[in-house]
Amino acid sequence: MTGAIGWAILIPLGGALLAAAAGERASRWIAALAAAATTCAAIGVAASVARHGPSRHPAGGWLAPLGIELRADGLAATMLLTIAAVAGLVAAHALADRSRAAACARSCPLWLFTWAALDALVVSGDIFNLYVTLELATLAAVGLVADGEGPDAPRAALRYLLFALPGSLLYLLGVALIYGEHGALDPATLGAHVGASAPDTAAMALMTAGLCLKAALFPLHAWPVLAYTRASPVAGALLAGLVGKAAFLVLVRLWLEVYPATFTSAAGPVLGTLAAGAILWGSLHALWQPRLRAVIAYSSVAHTGYLFMWFALGTRDALAGALFVVMSHAAASASMFLATGAIARALGHDRVEGLTGLAHRLPIPFFALALAGTSAMAMPPSSGFVGKWLLVRAAFETGHRLWAAVMLIGGLLAAAYVFRLLRRAFLPRPAGEPIAITRSSGGHAALALALVAIALGLAPGLALDLLRGGSAP
Amino acid sequence: MSLLDLASAALLLAGAAFFLAGTVGLLRFPDVYARLHALTKADNLGLGFTVAGLALEVGDVAVALKLGITWALVLVSSSISCQLVARTAMNAGVRPWRRP
Amino acid sequence: MTALDVLLAGALPVLAWRALATDDLHEAVVFFIALGLVAALAWARLDAPDIALVEAAVGAGVTGSLFVTTLRARGLRPPASPAPRRARIALAVLTIASALGIGAALAALPAEPPGLGELVRASLPETGVQHTVTAVLLNVRGYDTLLEMAVLVAAVLAVLARAPSPSARPAARPAAPDDDPARPLIAVLARLLVPGIILVAGYLLWRGAFAPGGAFQAAAVLAGGGILAILAGRRAPDPHARAVRRGLVFGPGAFVLIAAVPLIAGRHVLEYPEGWAKVLIVAVEVALTFSIALTLVLFFPASGEKGT
Amino acid sequence: MTPLLYASSGVAVFAIALYRIFTAGDVLRKIIAANLLGGGVFLILVAIARRPAAGIDPVPHALVLTGIVVSVSATACALALARRLEGTTLDDGDDGDDGSDDTEVAGRGP
Amino acid sequence: MTLDALLPLAVVLTSLLPGIAIFWLAERDTRLRTTLNLSAAIAKLALVVVIGRGVLAGEIFETRLPFVPGADLVLRADSLSLLFVSLSAVLWLVTTVYAVGYLEGSPHRSRFFGFFSISVASTMGVALAGNLLTFFVFYETLTLSTYPLVVHRGTPEAVRAGDLYLRYTLSGGVLLLTGTAILYAAAGSIEFTAGGVLGELAGRRGLLIAAFALLIAGLGVKAALIPLHTWLPVAMVAPAPVSALLHAVAVVKAGAFGITRVIYDVYGIRLADRLGVTSVLAVVAAATILYGSLKALAQDDLKRRLAYSTVSQVSFIVLGVTVVGKLLTIGGIAHLVHQGLMKITLFFCAGNLAEELGIHGVRELRGAGRRMPLTMIAFTLASLGMIGIPPLAGFVTKWYLGAGAVEVGSSWVIAVLIASSLLNAAYLLPIVRDAWFGEPSAPWPARKGRFEVGLWLLLPTIVTAAASVGVGLFAATKLSPLAMAALIAEREIHP
């Protein structure tokens, strides 16, 4: 299955185009088929990496320095599977929802484009190509946000776009400088040549700054929150779960393959400080949000902090931990967004008070929220715990006691804001609250995603072997 | 400096002079209509001379023809856009300048 | 390093500052368009004719008209309160510092870097086209262009994300009353220019294989013609019609198909089969031109759409 | 020497646009700034492409072409959203407004 | 993975899987739920017996699952874990019977029994954990699964009690995680091995002491050492079976068991003693014993009094384990079982009194003996046992603790033992006296069924009372908890 990596990108692209051109009913079928086929392609890639280790696929047949090379290594394989799992289940949720059938002609192509962009980003072996994939993911995400019903959807989408654009263009300027200095765009050549010269340092600083802005790392962290809270649940799930992590994955690629030790040792502590700020700021803000979506949005800001903490630690185990946080938070936040969508549709609003005594009226969305919350607060049996454990242990091993303390306090705050939601389940339901229980409360996809987050925590061995099996070159 | 060069230099100088006139008109004239007048008339003519001068210089008939087409296009579009701007100004109630 | 270069290079930042610093939006848009044209000249001076063409047609033309239409649709809103002074000063200092840093970095760039130019020229025969930029664009880095087409379609879907369905949309014909004296003039302009535009677009597309030109440039010019036609009163393409959506997707769809075929044959993605490169590239270019032109026209809101 | 001239003018345009995109109040000006940001970077890229004596390096040209198309689609998308925007700015009452106010939610979605 | 390797995992799964299954059962099919519950409990008991025979014969059962780079999920049945597993297995069966009777007709029973089984599964996991990380994983799942039981009633004060419970246990969890992470970072994987595994780290005293303090603080929350104990009395608002099994046995013992593991199998008693940390802990334990008994004296609500008594009794185990001495270790570890049996009997009696006669306060007990003779007999036996009257269970362990203290020569331990026994008498005997010899202020309501209280409630009470007496009388036999404790002390102290 050498072509699997090509299919993983072309099927969602082709599916999106077909869905855009097809009628109402046809576009739903095309989208469903494309989602299924892309998942198979992702599994194919993972299988080939697990069996034969990393492999390279030059696009168009042109080898590295000139053409663009697609690489299937451990990191790419696990991320492809994560994207397939989360995007697939979110897609199932979107397609299963009869009431928004008409929207599929518009939203199905967009979330397929997002899927294709993320797949392309994860396997891409060319720093300019990473810029194009980031842009495709951003624009498709903006389209999804703009598709929401609320009065605020255009404003949220525009704000999201106008903060994402400078980020990518800063990154592009970095790419331009590096190309000016070394005349190459593939990480292998760059890794060998990039040193500590003025253009290299400026380029790396710009690329890192741009990616930090796009990943909404603290102190530039508030801009995606409005989009998360105003988007429809499907858009919110994809944005917070996957698109929010794209910039981090790009920076990990650069950090591992392109950046020299001189730069990483200098930039590491800076990113560590910003990450610590994100963890504390995000968790504290999530504590007092009156609305459920805002709590999840700020929790995503805090989780971005956990991800970027790896740059301050740098060890291989810490990377496995950070990637586990990516996987667990992708599944958990997507599940929480979908569950919130189902609850908000039944209650008419998503204020936290509405959760009171809800456990028995809407068992499935609430159970999904509880399981996903367990993963969000990184308590054992969840995959969030595995990620945080690896990061905290690496922090102690590398002597960063302060970062370890921040992560542990962050975990405690996370437990606080998750239980602030869950504790209401046991309070009796106030009489006056009407609940429109629709036939399918739409929580099944949310529950499936939450179970993925928990299952990854119970058997992390598989994912860790795949990560190591084809470890990044 | 063959005869051809002399002719093209002369044409280019004339073109430049008309462009200068157009620009002075743009800066000095009091209201929008006069400025439009200066721009469309003087600059188009200036462009015509410049194109002619260059056509002599370039020596390849195809390129010269392309230059000619460009001049024609500029003539058409500038005259129509000048008319549109004048109409919008009139609708917006801009009174033409009267000598005090 | 002639005086013209100094003039152009100096004009760009000045125009940028004027465009962004004025409080009158009309002035800002006009400066933006002016900057687009000056930039096109700058590209010409930097021996980048392909980019000059695209910049003039798309950068200044289509984008400029989009800005003017959006300005007209939203009308003049009260100027918003700018960010607090302290933050602005801090940001100003930060940007100036980074600009100096980047400038220093640029100065330190080697004068003779090992660019990929020779490699491209060396492998030009295998790419099936003579013009290096088209070779890079559609063959060597064709994968980039494939994703870029997806960006374009995603953008147009985002633009149409909340376009009112046909029933709710006011008549597609422009709202200008019929007795508007400007109508016949634009109609004259359209009648004169549009056929010429189509001709130029076809010419650009055809020469893309061996000289500056190609799909984007042709599509940009074609889109300009389309917008002129809409202004002249012809029906704007209705985004909800099935035919328009098919046209939109036809180009990128063909490209994805051509990219997928080698995969079935067990080769790499987008690897043109031996000898077929030229034919496939021309086919892709033709398909893309039509779709990109349609996309750019769809970006342009039908004049009836008053910021719904 | 010419490439460095245009490159530095590109840096200037980039810096101005970067400053204004965060400080401009009005939405339209932010979009213009976003466009100019791209313009600045492309200027630098093409200036870099022109240096080798052997001939012009076509790869940055292709990158810039791709960049311009991406920037046009982003701008068109931003303008379409701007047309649908009620207020003039993105940030009206934005500070506390990251989902914590009480307006009815867009929760009706799937 | 031979069959033996699967046994420990099977023990955990026999209550985890039914637990998950019960969640999805509808409220009304109680018959299916009860049979599922009871069969799971019996199956687990059978498994424990099989493992018990193996461990006594010196075999080691171990399940090793790949978990995280540098640490696996290990479930190992050695002698110490067998003791705690057998105690929990027996009491889970008894308490399930009691809970079925107690919760007759109350709402959300599927949810209750689901979380009930999962928390027992977590307790099994805590008992069988083979390394510090596995211990932490199950320690935290115990928190997660017991929280819904504390707030089961859904009344505002139940949820408030739940909040307090969470605040303590979650912060404790973070402290434990910090300590674990420090040790794993310093010494690689921390497998529980007799005699401790931190030998090579002996040089880094600061790190070891800090890690020890963090671990004990984390475990101390559940072991209800002062000042981390305040959640326990407040959590008494939970239904009786929860207070009986979880707060008297499972959760509290998990803390004490954890402390035992850390001292014996992570640090090793000698290293811990050299670091001087055990003496500090012993003082805290002693203080908790006295403080718990004194506070119990002041409570007039029966369940809160028993809760404070638990606080003090658990610290007996901690005291026995921290002071170096073979007899003290045997006394401490045996007390884990003895105290469990006695305390659960007392809580069952409290539950019966509340359920049947609506008695909550200690003063309302006057003359209850005549109305509910069997329950009060059980209560009296358990109380006398707690006080330490020979030949009952409490006396045996206190005797060993006293003898150990004399052997080691720490006289203050003896003083603490005597003082606490007197205090026990002070807060338990008045209840017994009132119950038997007091005059009821108003005539007791007539009996509903044939027995003084539902059979489902009475039977478990009698069984546990008999067990607590039996454990004391037959302490010398080979199968008694005391013998098991001696075996453990043998393996732990002189490896």
Chains touching chain C through at least 3 C-beta pairs below 8 angstroms are A, B, D
Q: What is the pLDDT of residues A158-187, one digit of tens each?
A: 989 999 999 999 999 999 999 888 888 889
Q: What is the pLDDT of residues E433-461, one digit of tens each?
A: 888 888 877 777 777 777 777 788 888 88
In this complex, the residue of C108, C141, C160 whose CB is nearest that of residue A198 is: C108
Q: How far apart are the first and last CA of chain C?
A: 50
Q: Smallest Cα–Cα separation from E57: which of E478, E481, E493, E492?
A: E478
In this complex, the residue of A62, A136, A180 whose CB is nearest that of residue C113 is: A180
Tokens matching residue E456: 């489902």
Q: What ranges do the domains of chain E cover? A: 276-495
Cβ-Cβ contacts under 8 Å, C192 against chain B: 76
Distance CA A105, CA A103 (A): 5
Q: Are C56 and C40 in contact (CB under 8 A)?
A: yes
**B66 assigned to some structural domain:** yes
Give D109's pLDDT tier (boundaries 50, 70, 90).
Answer: very low
**C136 assigned to some structural domain:** yes
**B86 assigned to some structural domain:** yes
pLDDT at B91: 85
Distance CA E407, CA E331 (A): 13
Residue with tokens 């699997």: A4
**C163 DSSP assignment:** P
Shortest distance between the Cα of C284 and any Cα of chain D, in A, equals 16
Cβ-Cβ contacts under 8 Å, A23 against chain C: 242
Polymer length of chain D: 110
Q: Is D16 in Cβ contact with C16 (below 8 Å)?
A: yes
Distance CA E388, CA E400 (A): 12
Q: Are E405 and E325 in contact (CB under 8 A)?
A: yes
Q: Is the domain of C147 the same as that of C70?
A: no
Q: Is the domain of C166 the same as that of C279?
A: yes
Give E138's pLDDT tier (boundaries 50, 70, 90).
Answer: very high
Q: What is the pLDDT of residues B33-75, one digit of tens each?
A: 888 988 888 989 999 999 999 998 887 888 899 899 989 989 9
Q: What's the pTM?
A: 0.90
Distance CA A129, CA A414 (A): 36
Distance CA D75, CA A402 (A): 43
Residue A103, number of CB atoms within 10 A of its CB: 21
Residue D25, number of CB atoms within 10 A of its CB: 17
pLDDT at E1: 55
Report the number of distinct structural domains present in chain C: 2
Residue with tokens 């465009």: C19
Higher pLDDT, E104 or A259: A259
B-C contacts at Cβ under 8 angstroms: 18
Instruction: Give residue C69's Cα distance to chain centre.
Output: 17
Interface of C with B (CB under 8 A): 181-182, 185-186, 188-189, 192-193, 196
Q: Is the domain of C61 the same as that of C135?
A: no
Shortest distance between the Cα of C234 and any Cα of chain A, in A, equals 24
Cβ-Cβ contacts under 8 Å, C48 against chain D: 46, 49-50, 56, 61, 64
Which residue in chain C is spatially nearest to D49 when comparing CA positions?
C115
Q: Is B87 in Cβ contact with C182 (below 8 Å)?
A: yes
Whether E54 shows a pLDDT value over 60: the answer reads: yes
Whether A217 shows a pLDDT value over 90: the answer reads: no
Instruction: For chains A and C, tell me whether 3 or more CB atom pairs sit within 8 A of each other.
Output: yes
Report the number of distinct structural domains present in chain B: 1
Work out the average pLDDT over A111-129: 93
pLDDT at D39: 93
Query: pLDDT tens string for chain C (308 positions)?
Result: 688 889 999 999 999 999 988 888 888 999 999 999 999 999 988 888 889 989 988 888 889 888 988 888 776 666 666 667 888 888 889 889 989 998 888 888 877 766 788 888 888 888 888 888 888 888 888 899 999 999 999 999 888 876 554 444 444 444 444 445 556 788 888 888 889 899 999 998 888 878 888 888 899 999 989 888 888 877 777 777 888 888 999 999 999 999 888 888 888 888 888 888 888 888 999 999 999 999 999 888 764 444 33
Q: Is the domain of C264 the same as that of C168?
A: yes
Distance CA B15, CA B74 (A): 15
Q: Are E394 and E470 in contact (CB under 8 A)?
A: no
Which residue in chain C is spatially nearest to B86 when comparing CA positions?
C182
In this complex, the residue of A390, A396, A427 whose CB is nearest that of residue E68 is: A390
Q: Does residue E156 belong to the interface with chain A, where contact is any CB pair within 8 Å?
A: yes
pLDDT at A441: 54
**C26 assigned to some structural domain:** yes
Tokens matching residue E399: 């005797």
In this complex, the residue of C181, C189, C196 whose CB is nearest that of residue B80 is: C189
Q: Is C150 in Cβ contact with A113 (below 8 Å)?
A: yes
In order, the DSSP letters of C78-117 are PPPPPPPHHHHHHHHHHHHHHHHHHHHHHHTS-SS---SH
Q: Are A372 and A329 in contact (CB under 8 A)?
A: no
Cis, peptide link before residue A219, omega less than 30° from 0:
yes
Distance CA A348, CA A343 (A): 8
Cβ-Cβ contacts under 8 Å, C188 against chain B: 80
Cβ-Cβ contacts under 8 Å, A176 against chain D: 41, 44-45, 48, 60
Which residue in chain C is spatially nearest to A199 when comparing CA positions?
C105
Cβ-Cβ contacts under 8 Å, C196 against chain B: 73
- Final residue of a domain: which of C57, C74, C91? C74
Q: Are A343 and A362 in contact (CB under 8 A)?
A: yes
Higher pLDDT, D74 or E249: D74
Cβ-Cβ contacts under 8 Å, E138 against chain A: 380
Shortest distance between the Cα of C220 and any Cα of chain D, in A, equals 10
Whether A145 shows a pLDDT value over 50: the answer reads: yes
pLDDT at A231: 84
Q: Does residue D43 belong to the interface with chain A, where contact is any CB pair within 8 Å?
A: no
In angstroms, the Cα distances linking E158 to D67, E75, E231, E251 are 61, 34, 12, 18
Mean per-residue pLDDT over chain C, rounded: 82
**B41 assigned to some structural domain:** yes
Q: Is A143 in Cβ contact with C157 (below 8 Å)?
A: yes
Q: Does residue B77 belong to the interface with chain C, where contact is any CB pair within 8 Å?
A: yes
Q: Is D67 in Cβ contact with A179 (below 8 Å)?
A: no
pLDDT at C182: 59
At A211, which helix (H) or strand (E)? helix A198-214
Which of A62, A128, A207 would you mutate first to test chain C, the one with the most C CBs within 10 A?
A62
- Burial pattern A261-276, b for ≥16 Cβ within 10 A else e, equals eebbeebbeebbbbbb
Distance CA C166, CA E281 (A): 78
Domain that holds residue C140: 123-308
In this complex, the residue of A14, A140, A203 whose CB is nearest that of residue C256 is: A14
Mean per-residue pLDDT over chain E, rounded: 87
Whether A344 shows a pLDDT value over 90: the answer reads: no
Work out the average pLDDT over D64-76: 93
**E449 DSSP assignment:** S
Shortest distance between the Cα of D19 and any Cα of chain C, in A, equals 6
Chains touching chain E through at least 3 C-beta pairs below 8 angstroms are A
Tokens matching residue C160: 């149409």
Which residue in chain A is spatially nearest to E133 when comparing CA positions?
A389
Whether A131 shows a pLDDT value over 50: the answer reads: yes
Burial of C240 (C-beta count, 10 Å sphere; 0-12/13-18/19+): middle
Encode E202-230 in three state secondary structure. CCCHHHHHHHHHHHHHHHHHHCCCCCCCC
Q: Is C32 in Cβ contact with D76 (below 8 Å)?
A: no
Instruction: Give residue C255's Cα distance to chain centre.
Output: 19
Shortest distance between the Cα of C205 and any Cα of chain B, in A, equals 17
Q: Does residue E185 belong to the interface with chain A, where contact is any CB pair within 8 Å?
A: yes
Residue with tokens 């610290």: E315
Cβ-Cβ contacts under 8 Å, D37 against chain C: none
Q: Is D63 in Cβ contact with A290 (below 8 Å)?
A: no
Q: Smallest Cα–Cα separation from A131: which of A253, A48, A31?
A: A253
Residue E24, number of CB atoms within 10 A of its CB: 9
Cβ-Cβ contacts under 8 Å, D56 against chain C: 47-48, 117, 132
Q: Is the domain of C139 the same as that of C70?
A: no
Which of E65, E141, E170, E201 would you mutate first to test chain A, the one with the most A CBs within 10 A?
E170
Distance CA C9, CA D12 (A): 10
ipTM above 0.90, yes or no: no
Cβ-Cβ contacts under 8 Å, A97 against chain D: 110
Q: Is C181 in Cβ contact with B80 (below 8 Å)?
A: no
Contacting residues for A467 by C-beta, under 8 A, at least 6 apart: A74, A75, A78, A320, A323
Q: Is E154 in Cβ contact with A408 (below 8 Å)?
A: no
Q: What ranges do the domains of chain D cover? A: 2-83
**C278 assigned to some structural domain:** yes
**C291 assigned to some structural domain:** yes
Q: What is the pLDDT of residues E460-473, one digit of tens each?
A: 889 989 988 888 88
Q: Smallest Cα–Cα separation from A148: which of A113, A97, A100?
A: A100
Q: Does residue D25 belong to the interface with chain A, where contact is any CB pair within 8 Å?
A: no
Which of A173, A228, A296 would you mutate first to test chain D, the one with the most D CBs within 10 A?
A173
Distance CA E451, CA E368 (A): 14
Shortest distance between the Cα of A141 and any Cα of chain C, in A, equals 9
Three-class SS state of A8: helix
Distance CA C306, CA C163 (A): 11
In order, the DSSP letters of D20-71 are HHHH--BHHHHHHHHHHHHHHHHHHHHHHHT--TT---HHHHHHHHHHHHHH
In order, the DSSP letters of E227-281 are TS-THHHHGGGS-HHIIIIIIIIIHHHHHHHHHHHIIIIII-HHHHHHHTHHHHH
